[in-house]
């Protein structure tokens, strides 16, 4: 199996899913800015979603219907100022980990509003700006470091 081709196919499918369901989103994290040259056994992909937490169970159910090998965590990972809903997509001997960050704060909404839209095969893919990536990384590290 060509893992780069499989990864790109899965990303295409995910982007089409998000666009078809009219979910406002932005891919974030260092993964999306990499050249996909060195793909290890585990790939974390961070995606900011502009949906409410109460809508996540329906979103996850739709995702499970679209992808055969989706394994969602039972509940979100909670940090002081954020929640991350994690979903694992198994690709043969590799894991594609999707971390969905909900845009419930002005900060995340602003990151999505400033995202770039690029052509990605036959779809449009929204990615955060490099500046947004730095802000997001600092925000995430701060949220993890702060005691509850």
Q: What is the pLDDT of residues 26-50, one digit of tens each?
A: 988 666 555 444 556 567 888 999 9
pLDDT, greater one: 7 or 66: 66
Q: What is the pLDDT of residues 72-96, one digit of tens each?
A: 998 898 876 678 899 998 877 778 8
Is the pLDDT assigned to residue 135 strictly greater than 80?
no
Q: What is the pLDDT of residue 58?
A: 94
Is the pLDDT assigned to residue 22 strictly greater than 60?
yes
In terms of average pLDDT, the best of 14-23, 36-45, 63-72, 100-109 is: 14-23
124-130 mean pLDDT: 86
Return the SS3 of 17. Answer: helix
Q: What is the pLDDT of residue 5?
A: 78
Between CA 60 and CA 84, with CA 46 as vertex, the angle to 5 degrees is 55
pTM of the model: 0.80
- List the domains of the chain with CATH numbers: 3-145 (3.30.460)
Q: Contact at 8 Å (CB) between 112 and 103?
A: yes
Q: What is the pLDDT of residues 55-68, one digit of tens each?
A: 999 999 999 999 87
Q: What is the pLDDT of residue 35?
A: 46
State the DSSP string of 48-92.
EE-S-GGGHHHHHHHHHHH-TTEEE-SS-EEETTEEEEEEEEEET
pLDDT, greater one: 107 or 12: 12
Q: What is the pLDDT of residue 39?
A: 56
């Amino acid at each position: 199996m060509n893992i780069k081709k499989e990864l790109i196919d899965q990303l295409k499918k995910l982007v089409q899913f998000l666009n078809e369901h009219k979910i406002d989103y932005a891919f974030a994290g260092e993964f999306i800015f990499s050249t996909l040259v060195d793909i290890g056994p585990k790939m974390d992909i961070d995606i900011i979603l502009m949906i409410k937490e109460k809508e996540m169970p329906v979103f996850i159910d739709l995702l499970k219907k679209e992808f055969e090998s989706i394994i969602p965590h039972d509940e979100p990972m909670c940090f002081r100022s954020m929640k991350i809903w994690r979903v694992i997509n198994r690709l043969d001997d590799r894991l594609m980990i999707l971390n969905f960050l909900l845009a419930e704060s002005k900060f995340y909404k602003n990151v999505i509003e400033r995202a770039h839209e690029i052509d990605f095969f036959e779809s449009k893919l929204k990615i955060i700006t490099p500046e947004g990536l730095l802000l997001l990384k600092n925000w995430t590290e701060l949220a993890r470091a702060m005691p509850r």
